[in-house]
Structure 1
Amino acid sequence: MEHLIRKGARYYYRRRVPKALVEALDGKPEITRALNTADPSEARVRCRKVDVEVDELFARARQSGGLVQVRPPMEQTRPMSPANEDYLRRRDEHEEAQRTALCESDEEEAASWDKIAARQVRQERRQEFLRDVMTQIVSRVVASTARIDAPARFATPLTAPTTGAPGATLVEALAAWKRRRDPTRASINMMERVIEIARRSGMPLALTAITRQHVTAFLDSLDTLSRATQRSYLSLLKALFSACVSDDLLASNPASVVKLDAAKQRSVKARIPFSTADLNVIVSSLRNDDAKPSNYWLPLVSMFTGMRMMEIGQLRANDIKIEHYTDSAGKRHSVPFIYATDEGDEQSLKSQSSKRRIPVHPELERLGFVKYARSVSGEARLFPELKMDKYGRITSRYSQTFGKRLREVCKITDARKTFHSFRHGFKNALREGGVTEDVSDALTGHSTGSAARSYGDDYWPVRPLVEAIERVSYHGLECPPSDSHSRKGTTR
């Protein structure tokens, strides 16, 4: 949503003042308001209200032509008690500090891009120098004065038509994409990574200098990544330039006709599931008395639900709920479910299809997961030791810890085996259990793209999910004991 930003867990309203009104509004280049909420839905409502007040403020400034205080009209007419005046003074000081911090953040980002541009200029100068040297060498050897130019693949000048916004760069492209897509923090991180890779592949900073050859060079630089990742990165780059076309920063999308080579073999295979031997080694390394509950529960929950690492790490106690259903014999049952949602503070999902509910596997319940969840108060996170990093990722540090344990303690060194391998193994277990693909997708949060999936309730019916989860088993798995006094678990 335009003018709505998020800093940490809180939301703020931020809007630039038109240049013609800056002087009339006490010289302030932008208006920033704290929305005092961490709930995205509530933030959008408050943002719209502030937007109306700021529109009225701009209208008054245009009519008066004089100095207008940057304060909503309803606050100007409200009787001011000493306590209220003190509150408004402290609020304005806080918002001014927030505005300053945001400006500093913009300056740091601009400085970072300036460094990238300067590095690109230095690289071009070095290439020009090398061409001069090679020209001199060739002239001495073959008595020719022909200049050594750029390689044949760049024989066509790498300049785009001059139509579009002059001086616009990838920085403006990123801002345009954010305005039009209102992306999550995770999506922004991914787009920033795509832009970084594009710059490293030789893509110019200026938008009007970017051509299809640059996009092809960007795609060539992704050879070490899987086909799925290449496809995802190319789609993001196309979306970035599409936003630029919509904002008149580009005349056309230079990535629109670039496609993956269907005949080209990828050099990196997809993730593969853990073997039963791998699972036994991992399970034997877990301790239910670990000082950090996440170290114990995240692998087990993923193994028996197929949930992604981030989805588990952000769970709250009230995401574990009891649902009821009637089986084919007419008997009533109550089953605990895990809800994967983005409704709570600091919660996000990979896609809309990721919003789902998964029955707690009987083995997971035996190990005490539901009991552990009930020991945590409703709104509290199940794993408070997991801290969100500056990019909004709550499991980034755990991911490093698990990877180190997997390689050094469990001695599982195959690079294709990571935490995500639990999810692959769960999918295989569903297939082995004869679970239909649509129910399997409902459990794992995969989207088939079928229009039929948009019909019905938000969540898949309880009964088929429960029946499917009961078919999930890992033959030969030595499950951990349910408590410190239990004997070695039996195989399933």
Structure 2
Amino acid sequence: MPSLSLPYLTTTKTGICGYRRRVPDGIRDAVGKTEIVKSFESSDAKVVKLRHAEFHAGVERMFAQAKTSAGISSDLVFEAAVRSLTARGLPSGDANDKWSAADRSDAVDIVLADAGMRSLDELEEALEVAANGEQAKLRKVSTEIAIVQGTLSRPKPKLTYCLRLLLEDRARGRDTQREDWVRYERERKRIVSELIRKIGDKDITTVSRADARSFLTHLEKDRYSAGSVKKQIAFMKAMFDFGFHEFEHSGVNPWGKLKVVVAEDDDESGVSFDYAEVRTLLSKVAAINDDLQDIIRLLACTGARLGEICGLELGDVDLTANTISLRYNSIRRLKNKKSVRVVPVVDDRALAALGARIRRFEAAGRHAPVFPRYGRRNGSASASAALGKWLTKIKLRDPKAEKPKTTHSLRHTFKDALRELGVHRDLANMLQGHTAGDVASDYGSSELIDAKRDAAQKAWLLIFG
């Protein structure tokens, strides 16, 4: 790839380009991150330029909005001013009718005196010449006076402001130093920051249904799992419910009843193939391309997800140990950290196919995809669509059924076999990448691999035997 001179552009050893930029200290709380990192998942100069232009513009817009409306913004100054006034028994809200005009005038004099000033003119002159540190203190004094006079009301409930109030509310009575809270807070800031990058730091009462749908589409296209998308949309709905109540807004929550599309390879229906149906579909693979033939075989004998198999790199395959390593790589995400695992391949034909592919593509390097047609962005969706049509054609999938069988049903079949064999739940979870409650599931020790292989071989014999 020719050298590109673009701001904050990074390049991996394999030539994949991305974006890396430090978030300025003053707006980190508003942005919710210390660094902006994004892979453009391509080494093609034209593709990289287009993706960089769009992403860089979004980051610039997000930083500009954060500098003016978050972190050091007027809402923080306003809240600090209200707390200060309340502590001194002075008017702290424009709805406080018990204060007369004379009372408010006296309160202004008290605020000025506490700041060491005798008049509003003196405050105005001080603001004009103050340095940054002193100016922040004087802004607070100026805000207090505007509140006391009844000329300044609570700031509009922008996304960053609403998030801060929600987190403060949920942090009450909790140990905010605990890892689970820190993780919760960081993730919620990330979600809102991502929304702000797409639509700006809007007043929540002006966020439209179209904005919400646009963000949903963005999450789905960015290859988050359906479960992750559902959680993020659910949080946005909860935050808006909180904000609408807090600011006494009676509008309709734009995040309500948004439908999250569940891809076939992320199907949660739990529908399984019968063992005989698995044998039937494996006998009819001649009608699909060679990539799909090998993918479907691996799905059947490992119980892995379609996206995990489509995203294999050559370096993920160990033909000495007869295993595949399912990990985060340049091709695809994984559902969660527990999905990172080493899986034994117990079918001889699947192993032979993997060996042939490694010999065929090894010159491209260890990061090259095992399945070139589908080892790319949204490749698993293409594979899912093609396999869905094939399953329908061979009459193993009824599209009109309440819960149609899909390629993901192979995963449920494998799980059924493990259960029928009485394989311990923790070991089954380790094989399939579910939360096992055991740190050993993150690693590939020889003892654990042997236990996995024994369970997988017995399951495969039960299914295919």
Q: TM-score, normalised by structure 1?
A: 0.46
Structure 2 length-normalised TM: 0.49
Higher normalized helix content (fraction of residues): 2
